[in-house]
Amino acid sequence: MTTVLIVDDQVLIRAGLAALVRAAPGLEVAGEAATGEEAVELAARHRPDVVLMDIRLPGISGIAALERILAGAAEPRPKVVMLTVFDLDSYVFAALKAGASGFLLKDTPPERLLAAVELIAAGEMLFSPGVTRRLVETFAARADPDRRRTTGLEALTDRETDVLHLVGQGLSNEEVAGRLVVTVATVKTHLNRVMSKLGLASRAQAVVVAYESGLVTPGGRHRAG
């Protein structure tokens, strides 16, 4: 059973999400919070598998709550999906760096939202198409060809670097396995090692590193060296 903590200051949205999760087989509501402070408290108390959280909250922001939830969580840490009204939300990049596992627009159809929760719980990554475009633009603008020397990528093996490159392009574990002609379990092992070596909390943070280091460019090319 996958447990989900729902965080939104708007009662109707929070209640609607809770009802949707409760009606879905294999999912269970771990709790409901209206503020970032409540989210941190409930996450520590109930240890949910997934947190659906509004990126803009009263009191401490969704990003601050995200950081506190991940910092205080025991392994396995919850996967946090940020909910946003605008696909060009200025907080998207900051939330990714803080460890968000993905993003969904609040008008996402119910069936897609539920599929997203299952995907995130399985360790995959999710972005709405508009958010993905925003991220690529942001990463491209911030990427520095000289950053790779300072990101820790030199600690990775060649195969770990290959996995990070493909994950950075947005490929799923199954797609990475197909490209490298290995098993999905092998991909997961390499990705876990990458995240451990680089001190990353989420798959999305791996994407940030791939772009910021120049390992992945908007054209999808693998930088040499």
Give the pLDDT confidence of 103-135 residue by residue, as tens digits.
888 888 999 899 989 888 887 766 654 555 566
CA–CA distance, 38 with 199 (Å, rounded to integer)? 27
**What pLDDT sits at residue 194?**
95
Q: Which of the two residues, 27 and 225, has the higher pLDDT score?
A: 27
How do residues 40-88 score in pLDDT, each as one tens digit? 999 999 999 999 999 889 889 999 999 999 998 888 889 999 898 866 5
**What pLDDT sits at residue 225?**
37
Specify which residues 31 forms β-bridges with.
Answer: 5
- Taking the alpha carbons of 36, 37, 40, 41 in that order, is the dihedral positive or negative? negative
Of 106, 112, 123, nearest in space to 187 by CA: 123
Is the overall model pTM greater than 0.75, yes or no? Answer: no
Contacts of 33 (CB under 8 A, 6+ apart): 5, 6, 7, 39, 41, 42
Average per-residue pLDDT for the chain: 84
In this structure, the number of other CB atoms found within 10 A of the CB of residue 150 comes to 11
